[in-house]
Every structure is written in C-alpha cells, then in structure tokens.
Structure 1
Amino acid sequence: MKELPITLDRGASLPLASQVADGIRSICARGFIRVGDRLPSTRALASSLGVSRTVTESAFEQLHAEGWITGRRGSGTYVAAVPPDVAATRDGIRARHTPGDLRAPWPGGPRTAPGAMREPGWEVSSELDLRPGSPWAAGMRPDVWRRAWRSAADLEPDRRPLREGFQGYRAAVEEHLLRHRGLAVESSAVLATAGTTAAVTELSHAVLGRGSKVAVEEPGYPRAVGAFRAAGVEVLPVPVDSKGVVVNAIPARVAAVYCTPAHQFPLGGRLPATRRSALVEWARRSGSLIIEDDYDGELRYDVAPLPLLAAIGPDVVIHLGTASKVISPTLGAGWMVARREVSAAVAAYREETGTGPSPAGQRVLTAMAELGDLGRHLRRVRRELAARRALVVSTLEVAGARVIGDRAGAHVVLLVENADAELDLVVRAADAGVQLDGLRRCFAGPSNRFGVTLGYSAPARRRDLENAIHRVVGCLVRTE
C-alpha cells in the first residue's frame, strides 16, 4: 500500500502530524486497512500527502506509542490493532467518537475515550492528572516492555538476597551514568536502591542517625522531607532562588544538605557551576555530606547538563538516581553512588534489617539496557516531553500566566498572587476534572511563593495534555 486516503486541513489549528495520526486511526476503524496490513513508509506517505517526512515520522511515533502500529526490522510498519469506532457504554449512554477525542465530556465529568486505549488491557486514566512525578508511561512500547520482562525471566531465581543489587544492573547503571549523565564510576561503586526516597530513608538510618540535622531546599521535595522526619532526622529549611539552593544560607553544624541541583524541585532552577563548586567546598570545610537527588537529570532540552556534583566532589557527595521518571515506578529501581564507607554502611543496614530493593525491577531495566531499548526509549521521551513543555508554556503564556522553570524535566510552575489564589485554582481545576498540586505542600515552613506545579508527562497523549491545559486556563480566567 503506497497511499492512504487521508485528507489534511492545512488551515486547522491541529498540527499536521496529529491529523495524519487521526487519519490512520480513522481508516483503520472504518476497515479500510486491517490488523497485519503493511503501511507505507514515512517517506512514501510524506510524498503522497505533500508534507515533510518529519510530519509522518511524528505521526508514526505517536501511533507506535499508543500501540496501534508496530515495526518489524527490515520489513516495515504494520497495523497492530484497530481502534473501535463506537464508544463504550456508560450510564446507559452510547456515543460515537473520533478515536482519542477527549473534548466532549461524559455527563458528570471528563472521560477517557475508548480510542485512548493503547491496546486491550492498557487503559488511560479517566482523570486528567497534571501532578508532577509521573513518567510518560504511555510512551513505553508494549513490545519493548514485554521483551524486557521475558528476558529478565530467563535468569535463574536468586538463592540469597542481593543486598548491593544485581551485578548486571549495577553495570547497566554504570553505563547509563557515563552516557547520559557524564559520570564515570565503577560498577562496584553503584548501589541499587528502590528509588531516591527509599535511599533517603536508608541514609537517614544507616549514615546520618536519629537526632542529626539535615538542610533541605525550601520549597523542596516533600517526600524527602517526610523520609528524613520519619527516621528522626531534624529538617532545617534552606532558601532557594531562581538558580537553586542558596549556599551561603545553609545552617552551620548540619550532617548533610539535600538538594536537587540539576532541576530544582519544584521551582525548576539549575544550580550554576560557581554554586556547585561553592557547595562542594562548603561540604569539605564543614565535614558534611551532600545528598544529590538527580531525579530527572536525564531530561534536558536546551543545553547539555552541567557536571554532576558527584563528578566534582566524589568524596563528599552521595548521588541518587531513579528510573521512575523515565520508565516507570513499576520497576522500583534506583541507584546510589557514594564513597565506600557510605555504601558499606547502607549495605550493613540492609543486612541487619533484612531489607533492600527488589531485584526484579533491576533485571528488567538491565534487559532494556542490554537490548538497546533503554537508550532508544530515553531519546523518545526527551523528544516527546520537549514538545509537551513547549505546548504547555506557550498555551499558558498566551493566556497571560506566569510560568517558571528551566527547559528540563517534566513539570513547570504556574505562579499566582497568594495562598487563596493557589487554593482556588487547585479546587477549580479539580471541579474541571484536572488534578493539580499546590506549592504549599513543598514548604516545610510558611509559604513565600504561591502557585501550582504542572506535570506534563502523565497524560497518555499530547491531545489529552492540551485538553487539560485548556481547562486550567479556563480556571485562571474565572479567578480574574
């Protein structure tokens, strides 16, 4: 098949790539092509439609992500599943729909269109979730996901717990850090964790100790604050500005400072090189540790990330990373890189308490890395989230909203005037079917900035995100 009966409206606001993807879904739903049929190449389709190949490649990538089409090495692209043409029943109502359309809500609130299903059993949430912290889970291709789990299952069961982590996983993290974060370490220096918050908990018990004091960014990551406090560690807030933690404001006599230098959570600043050097020198002078939470450091869209703190101060920095923001929290896979005595203390704590991260997720991520799927997935995620960020920022700025945050990660901050406006926006958005987080939860003490964190990775498709952002804009207009 060299041509497809797709009509494009070049005057429409909907991007051409989205129109191409919609057209392919539509002709599949109408039975013009069926499961197993081969589609034209992106080059051939671009030629027949009179568009650039970038347009058709973007459309195919979206359809791949949703599970409607699949590629076969050396053979081409084929239809993997056919979208339904009739909506499912809810409350006794049946309605026809354009596959994936979320603009016509079900009675009583927003709905997830049946066409939004990636394939049977992979459903999109019925709510529009713009809270930060979620990965672009819909971007994980089902064949990649299944292949990794099958490969992981080929390994023999462990006979004893692997307190430091599965060796293949530690080697995969070593390669990942070198390629994507510019950090050269030996796999023996990598300790597997269940994620950054779990690592903070272990460090609190094994290294810091009950009654110790830790400086944390204010506003900062509330789960880290909760983990410190639950372990009996006293939390001392440190102010941040548009560039990150203010080093000369760190209190004296703290055991450690916890920070997010690559993409400050939640305000989105990037700690400049001069402050990084100053922070490392402060730690050396004071005999304190730096806990570097690199929760989404792989996601940068403008320039290459600055060197990790662990690269310039390996003697005082404990580096934490996670796969949850780029793959899925399903894996429960993270990592820690620290000097030997710190890693040994955490490993001893695990042995004493019988705790530690599950190796299952480690083996799955290892399989992804060995098969080359991890790098490919990360590149797709970067491209998608860069486009989503541009969509969110442009939509909000056109509406006159104040948005802050570097071109990185998976969230921005929408600022408002005061605490009442923040609460009002969160409540109005919830009434409109959109979940938001207010900045208040990121303060250990009184708030001095107000707004909401807007995550743009959770919605399955860009169209879902666009719908959610327009609802947020509507809530802003009503508050004026």
Structure 2
Amino acid sequence: MLPVTLDRTSDEPLPAQLAGQIRSLVLSGTLASGDRLPSSRALAADLGVSRAVSEQAYDQLTAEGWLEARRGSGTYVTTTRPPGVTPPHFAPSLPRSARATGVTPRPTRPTSRLDTGTPFFDPRLEPGWRRAWREVSVAAPPRGYDDPRGLVELREALATRLGRTRGLEVGPDEVIVTAGTTDGLRALLPELRPGPVAVEDPGYRAAAETVLSYGREVVDLPAVRQVDDLGDAVAAYVTPAHQHPLGRVMPAADRLSLLEAARRADAVVIEDDYDSEFRYDVAPVPAMATLDRDRVVYLGTAAKSVVPTLRLGWLVAPPGLHELILRRRTITHAGAAWPSQRALLTLLRDGWLDRAVRSARRVYAERAPKVAEAMSPYATLAGPLAGMYSTWLLPESEARRARDAARVAGFEINLLSTYARSSGLTGLVIGFGGVTDAELDQALTAVTGALAR
C-alpha cells in the first residue's frame, strides 16, 4: 500500500491530491524508477475511494512522465530523483531566415491569421469585459508612479491563482506584474551574470531575439531531447508545459535532468508557462518552478487566456534575483500599465478569467481533432493535442506549397522552419484560436488541397 492520505474535507479534488502525493514520493526517493505501483483497483480499495480517483491520478502522472503503463504488467515509476533535488510541496513559447520563394501569392480575401498567439474570445463574455473597463474608468489612478511590483490587490489575486492552478505556492510580495512575457525576460537578463543563454530550438522567436538584443549569445537547446549539460550558459529558457512550437510536454525525467544541469552550471531555468491551462485530456501539468524555487524563474502571461493586447504577465524569481529586478524597476519606473492591471483585477475577481479559460478550452478541444483529422493523411503530428495550435512535420517544399495555398485563400499559416535555428525541422504550425469554425474549415481545405496535389 502506498503511504498516502486523502483529505475529503479539502477543496482540492481527490485525484489531484493523490497525484501530488505520488509525485512527492518519487521526488523524496521513497519510490524509485522501476518500482511497480498497485493497480488502480487495488489502490482505490486501500484508500476507500472509487476506482476513477486512482485512474485519474495515474493518467495525470503518466501524461507528465512520472509513470508508465505496461500492457499486461502494471504501472511503473519511470523517474528517479537525482541527488540535490528537494521534494516540493504540491499545492490543492530567432527565426531562421526564410529562403526566397519567388513571387508572394496574392490573397483573394482579407487575411486571417492561424497563428500560435491569438486566443479564442467568447462573445458571450463581452459584458464582463466591458464591465471591467467601466470600473477602470471610475477608479482613481495612482497620484505618482505605481508600485514597481504591480497593484497589491492584483498580486494577491495572481498569487492565489498560481497556487490553485499551477501548484505554485507564493505570496503576493513574491509576484512582480510585468507587461508580458518578454518584458519579464527583459527585466531578468540584466541581473544574470555574463554569459550565453540557452533557448529551445525550435523555440519562441521573441525570446531568442530578446536575448540577442541584450548582447548575449543564444545557445541552441534541443527541444526534443533530454538536457544533461548546459555548458557555460547562465540560463536556459524553456516552455515545459507545452513546448513552443512542437507542443511536447517536458517529461518528469527531463525536468529533473535540466534542473540538475542548471545546478552544476550555476545557471537558472527560465520557465515560460504561456498556455499551460489548455490541456484537454488531463489536468494541467504542475509548474516546473514547484520542483526548485531557488533555481527556476517563472514567467506567466494573460496573453493566451485574455487577449495579447492587454500586455500583462507576471514573474516569480528566486529571492536574490527578485530583489535585483525590483531595485532596477524602482529606479527606472518600469511597470505594467495601471489601467490594464486594474481591468485584470476585476476579471479575476468576478471569475471572468476562469470562465474564459473553460470556454476556450472547450473550443480548442473541438477544433484540435478537426485539424488532426484533416492533416494526418499528409503530415506527422509533432506533439500531443493541446493548446490553441498544433504542429505538423513534413518536408519544407510541401509545407511552403500548403502555406502559399492558404495565403491565396486569405489565411496566414506559419512555417515551422521560421521557429528553428539549427534543428532543421520543417512543417506547418496551424493555430485555431483566432478564427471562426467556418474560417478554419476553409483554411484546412486550402492546405489539404495543396498537399493532396
């Protein structure tokens, strides 16, 4: 029997409690790689809960890479805690230059973007959106420069949300409100010691460009392989919950390996948690920062759950870096716009953001299989179906032909090669958040028609 105890009076669901305690058993060394766990039926009987509770917990941990199910054999631990990892308390995303293609196809209708950054906005939520801005209009703004950490009420709400949705237990004074993810990165980079920064390849183009703009070298970090050595890099920028743009979830073993590599290099891991809330199959994977608060800088954003133009994000850094970042922001009067902060506070307080996430998740869960059904005969899916886009591997010539056909039909679709530097991966990155169902159907018809030819 596993040494776990479930609290039926807690607000945290029983499957989440069970998954969190099994993670802790692995990280504490109580469970080691290769250990066989009780069957879901036996564990449920031991704990006096329904079998669905243990099955959901096992499914969640399997999706995260802590466990694996072996047909006819059982469920086994796949990851062992390396030396130096302290068990956490788990709480209840530079383009390579595009090659010339000759004449650019002319669209036959106004262009709609099927990109990775435009979320679905439910029109039924418009009254709540307008109400938030009406409150901004009657609220008294600060007399002078605002707190460089951000509105205290907003930081309190964000700290509560991080604990509830990402398993990251922080206080409001540990949160710094930023003007988006890249603003958080710009706040961090000057406080790191001299040296290059490793960025996933393929990876988030804005992150690589931001690193270069600060005069630092970008080191390519393989996005699909375990990282055991960071060399002389002083930081590693990763998107572990949903790798941008391949969609891969970083397995538990890879997370622990990267943290160990960062410790050996005395480097920090920069976790961009850009769309972790949009999983369809299991609960969102806990933030990597829960594994090592002293080594991970956490970056979050409202761009994918609200709208990108709100230009708001949040940063949680280890104490030493937190103080350096805050001191510089105080001197430079850096900070996120007060009206946007005030509006987001209302959206959080009224439960609007939770409703927006649930609504978008339902839409993405319906659209992702539609894209998969259309693309599967012609290309290979790069990662699990999650988030507001999916990435498809196919030769560059075919990807360009499909991209050009979509452009003629009035749709802009990104090439995977524009996210890659040295990996050489090619294909299409198809977003489905910022278009209607009809537009998505039209775009897929254009793409698959080109690939079929």
The two structures share one fold, judged by TM-score above 0.5:
yes
Return the alpha-carbon distance in structure 2 between the equivalents of residues 473 and 423 of structure 1.
12
- Aligned position for 1:234: 217
Return the alpha-carbon distance in structure 1 between the equivalents of residues 246 and 268 of structure 2.
23
Aligned 1:1-400 pairs, distance under 5 A: 111=109, 126-139=110-123, 141-161=125-145, 162-205=147-190, 207-208=191-192, 211-241=194-224, 246-248=226-228, 250-397=229-376, 399-400=377-378
Structure 1 stretch 132-141 or stretch 468-477: which is displaced more? 132-141
Report Cα offsets for 1:85-110 as digits up to 9, x if no partner.
xxxxxxxxxxxxxxxxxxxxxxx955
How far is the alpha carbon of 1:383 from its aligned partner? 0.8
Give the letter aligned to residue 331 of structure 1: L
Give the direction of change, closer, same or farther, for the CA distance of 1:140–1:253 in structure 2 (3 Å limit): farther
SS at match of 1:383: helix
SS at match of 1:310: helix
Report Cα offsets for 1:334-375 as digits up to 9, x if no partner.
000112221222222222333222122111111011112111
- Aligned position for 1:7: none
Return the alpha-carbon distance in structure 2 between the equivalents of residues 457 and 220 of structure 1.
20
How far is the alpha carbon of 1:475 from its aligned partner? 2.0
Give the letter aligned to residue 380 of structure 1: S
Match among 428, 434, 450 for residue 411 of structure 2: 434
- Aligned position for 1:449: 425
8 A contact 2:401–2:451 mirrored in 1 = no
How far is the alpha carbon of 1:401 from its aligned partner? 3.0
Give the direction of change, closer, same or farther, for the CA distance of 1:168–1:379 in structure 2 (3 Å limit): same
Return the alpha-carbon distance in structure 2 between the equivalents of residues 222 and 403 of structure 1.
21
Return the alpha-carbon distance in structure 2 between the equivalents of residues 400 and 443 of structure 1.
21
Unaligned runs of 5+ in 2: 1-105
Return the alpha-carbon distance in structure 2 between the equivalents of residues 475 and 433 of structure 1.
14
Unaligned runs of 5+ in 1: 1-107, 112-125
Aligned 1:382-421 pairs, distance under 5 A: 382-397=361-376, 399-417=377-395, 419-421=396-398
How far is the alpha carbon of 1:285 from its aligned partner? 2.7
Match among 421, 439, 443 for residue 464 of structure 1: 439
8 A contact 2:269–2:295 mirrored in 1 = yes
Q: How many residues align?
A: 347
Give the letter aligned to residue 205 of structure 2: P
Report Cα offsets for 1:190-235 as digits up to 9, x if no partner.
1101111121122112x126x5211111111111000000011111
- Aligned position for 1:98: none
8 A contact 1:436–1:454 mirrored in 2 = yes
TM-score, scaled to structure 1: 0.69
8 A contact 1:238–1:246 mirrored in 2 = no
SS at match of 2:223: strand
Return the alpha-carbon distance in structure 2 between the equivalents of residues 154 and 448 of structure 1.
53
Give the letter aligned to residue 321 of structure 1: G
Give the direction of change, closer, same or farther, for the CA distance of 1:140–1:343 in structure 2 (3 Å limit): farther
Q: Percent identity?
A: 35
Give the direction of change, closer, same or farther, for the CA distance of 1:281–1:146 in structure 2 (3 Å limit): same
Return the alpha-carbon distance in structure 1 between the equivalents of residues 286 and 347 of structure 2.
26
8 A contact 1:168–1:363 mirrored in 2 = no
Greater relative contact order (CA < 8 Å, ≥ 6 in sequence): 2
8 A contact 2:177–2:313 mirrored in 1 = yes
Give the letter aligned to residue 440 of structure 1: S
Return the alpha-carbon distance in structure 2 between the equivalents of residues 424 and 477 of structure 1.
11
How far is the alpha carbon of 1:405 from its aligned partner? 2.1
Return the alpha-carbon distance in structure 2 between the equivalents of residues 344 and 323 of structure 1.
24
Return the alpha-carbon distance in structure 1 between the equivalents of residues 297 and 165 of structure 2.
18
Return the alpha-carbon distance in structure 2 between the equivalents of residues 258 and 109 of structure 1.
36
Return the alpha-carbon distance in structure 1 between the equivalents of residues 136 and 156 of structure 2.
15
Give the letter aligned to residue 397 of structure 2: D
Give the direction of change, closer, same or farther, for the CA distance of 1:140–1:286 in structure 2 (3 Å limit): farther
Match among 411, 425, 435 for residue 402 of structure 2: 425
8 A contact 1:128–1:468 mirrored in 2 = no
Return the alpha-carbon distance in structure 1 between the equivalents of residues 137 and 150 of structure 2.
17
How far is the alpha carbon of 1:138 from its aligned partner? 4.9
8 A contact 1:256–1:291 mirrored in 2 = yes
Return the alpha-carbon distance in structure 2 between the equivalents of residues 465 and 224 of structure 1.
28
CA RMSD, Structure 1 to Structure 2 (Å): 1.8
8 A contact 1:218–1:443 mirrored in 2 = yes
Return the alpha-carbon distance in structure 2 between the equivalents of residues 429 and 214 of structure 1.
36
8 A contact 1:280–1:309 mirrored in 2 = no
SS at match of 1:436: strand
How far is the alpha carbon of 1:265 from its aligned partner? 0.7
- Aligned position for 1:59: none
Residues 1:476 and 2:448 aligned together: no
Return the alpha-carbon distance in structure 2 between the equivalents of residues 139 and 393 of structure 1.
26
TM-score, scaled to structure 2: 0.73
Return the alpha-carbon distance in structure 1 between the equivalents of residues 306 and 163 of structure 2.
18
How far is the alpha carbon of 1:189 from its aligned partner? 0.7
